[in-house]
Structure 1
Amino acid sequence: MSALNTATAPIAAKRPSATWRLIKTESTLSIRDKVGPLWGVGCPLIVLIILGMVPALREPVEAGGSLTYFDLYVPVLILFNLAILALSALPTTLAGYRENGVLRRMRTTPVGPVRVLAAQLVANSAIALVATALFLAVAGFGFGIDLPRNVFGFVFAWLLAAAALLSIGLMITALAPGRGPATAIGTVLFFPMMFFAGLWVPVAQMPEMLQTISHYTPLGAGMQAFQDAYLGSFPSAGPLLTLAAYAVGGTVVAIRWFRWE
């Protein structure tokens, strides 16, 4: 009996936990779903390469310090990736799980639905992290764009921006009755958020009123924090507090009104 226990112990020790297996499963499903990899990674990567080939975008931006237009588009496309994952991929998937009864059935198993949410957050965060590294590598090695001068500040701002956007995604999931409404809400939020991040017009060239509004939006605050890091300083308190407020507020609303079925 003792020998049997000794033989089976290493096997049990090597067995991955249920949470890790769930994370791997959700990551595989996220890739197969194609929303995150195709629209969140592939689309902005192609845009980044196209913009890098436009000589006019190497001109300095007025009121942008020493940054060029292309310098600004790199963090904008990083935020684009985070926004697609948080506002489209995450709420659509989780609302679909609830609509199809997956979360309800999970409540009767030892795994539980909370782990499904955690696995989805980890899967989307991993995709966003890989995409960010890819964008910075392409911009740096392909087009000679410098990395953010304050790397720690950039990483800290990225983590806060990811937390803020993912919490908004969870809030959409909590409030939307199904997959269709979740997709619609995420799409409606995505375009104005990207406008205030500077996707179409650099924030520095917006009228003063729009610049002020931009600083209080999650992507606008994220862009402001990224720009500070690119210029070499740690992001100022204003955008960081704005991102933290969105992260906490979205999480509180999601927890308060989340429905498993």
Structure 2
Amino acid sequence: MQVSAMNAAASPVAATRGSATWRLVTIESKLCLRDKVAPIWGVGCPLIVLIILGSLPVLRKPLEAAGGLTIFDMYVPVLIIFNLAILAMTALPATLAGYRENGVLRRMQATPVGPARLLTAQLVANLAIALVAMILFLAVAGLGFGVALPRHLIGFAVAWLLAAAALLAIGLLITALVPGRSSASAIGTVLFFPMMFFAGLWVPIAQMPPVLQTISHYTPLGAGMQAFQDAYLGHFPSALPLVILAAYAAGCAVIAVHWFRWE
């Protein structure tokens, strides 16, 4: 009887916690859309770049050295990574750092929300936006410019999830430590451009010197691109890039929760 009573008492508490987390996720998702930073910069900007590049005939000529792929074909996964990087380095830190700067986090500190629940809500909200953007990019590239889907869809899905988790965890880490929007924007920008370089946005990874190629493979975007390329070629991504992405995701998330600042 006593055990049953304890279980009955625990169930409403667990349900309340779960529903509170879901409500927080819903609210943060609405605020992300209302703030317009993530939709405009994280989705609109990469999509415009995708359409512009796809409209250039010189980028859509098959290359024998690339197995018949075009330069545009190779840029589609780069732009998917580009979308994740903008969300993680720009939109997410600006939102939560803005909360801290405006005193919202200080007021939330007195509630049972907790850093883990708040950061999870932001992670889920931005992950949903990134998922919509990725599907939109693949649809526009395929229907508008004839770019084939990744040949190994399951491998691509795993690579994308780990890349998204790794980059958003880095964004959460920035958010957990900086005092306000200006600091978050500065740090995010400083990290964004080197990361995009090692992802092959300006120079394809295969054309980099050997030293830079090695460095690229151990960066989150470089590892993500390596996993994407494996999936596009029809292979399940090799273990090393997936392990690197998982390590970034877990490590940065744990540090972000541990060192989170309310003020």
Same fold (TM over 0.5): yes
Alignment partner of 1:54 is 2:60: no
* Deviation readout 1:150-197 (Å, 9 max, x if unpaired): 000000000100111011011111221222111110011001111111
SS at match of 1:17: helix
**Aligned counterpart, 1:106:** 108
How far is the alpha carbon of 1:100 from its aligned partner? 2.1
**Aligned counterpart, 1:29:** 31
TM-score normalized by structure 2? 0.87
**Aligned counterpart, 1:215:** 217
Alignment partner of 2:46 out of 44, 47, 65: 44
What CA distance in whole angstroms lies between the structure 2 residues aligned with 1:62 and 1:254? 46
* Deviation readout 1:19-58 (Å, 9 max, x if unpaired): 3332222112111222211111111111111111112212
How far is the alpha carbon of 1:63 from its aligned partner? 6.0
**Aligned counterpart, 1:231:** 233
How far is the alpha carbon of 1:66 from its aligned partner? 4.5
What CA distance in whole angstroms lies between the structure 2 residues aligned with 1:107 and 1:151? 42
**Aligned counterpart, 1:6:** none
How far is the alpha carbon of 1:76 from its aligned partner? 0.7
Q: What runs of 5+ residues in structure 1 fail to find an aligned partner? A: 1-12
How much is the aligned-residue C-alpha RMSD, in angstroms? 1.9
What CA distance in whole angstroms lies between the structure 2 residues aligned with 1:107 and 1:119? 15
What CA distance in whole angstroms lies between the structure 2 residues aligned with 1:207 and 1:63? 18
Supply the AA of the counterpart residue of 1:176. Answer: V
Is the 2:115–2:257 contact (alpha carbons within 8 Å) kept by the matching residues of 1? no
Q: How much identity, in percent, do the aligned residues show?
A: 77
**Aligned counterpart, 1:182:** 184
What CA distance in whole angstroms lies between the structure 1 residues aligned with 2:255 and 2:55? 43
Alignment partner of 1:73 is 2:75: yes
SS at match of 2:197: helix
* Deviation readout 1:110-129 (Å, 9 max, x if unpaired): 44554332221111000000
Closer/same/farther in 2, CA of residues 39 and 61 from structure 1, 3 Å limit = farther
**Aligned counterpart, 1:173:** 175
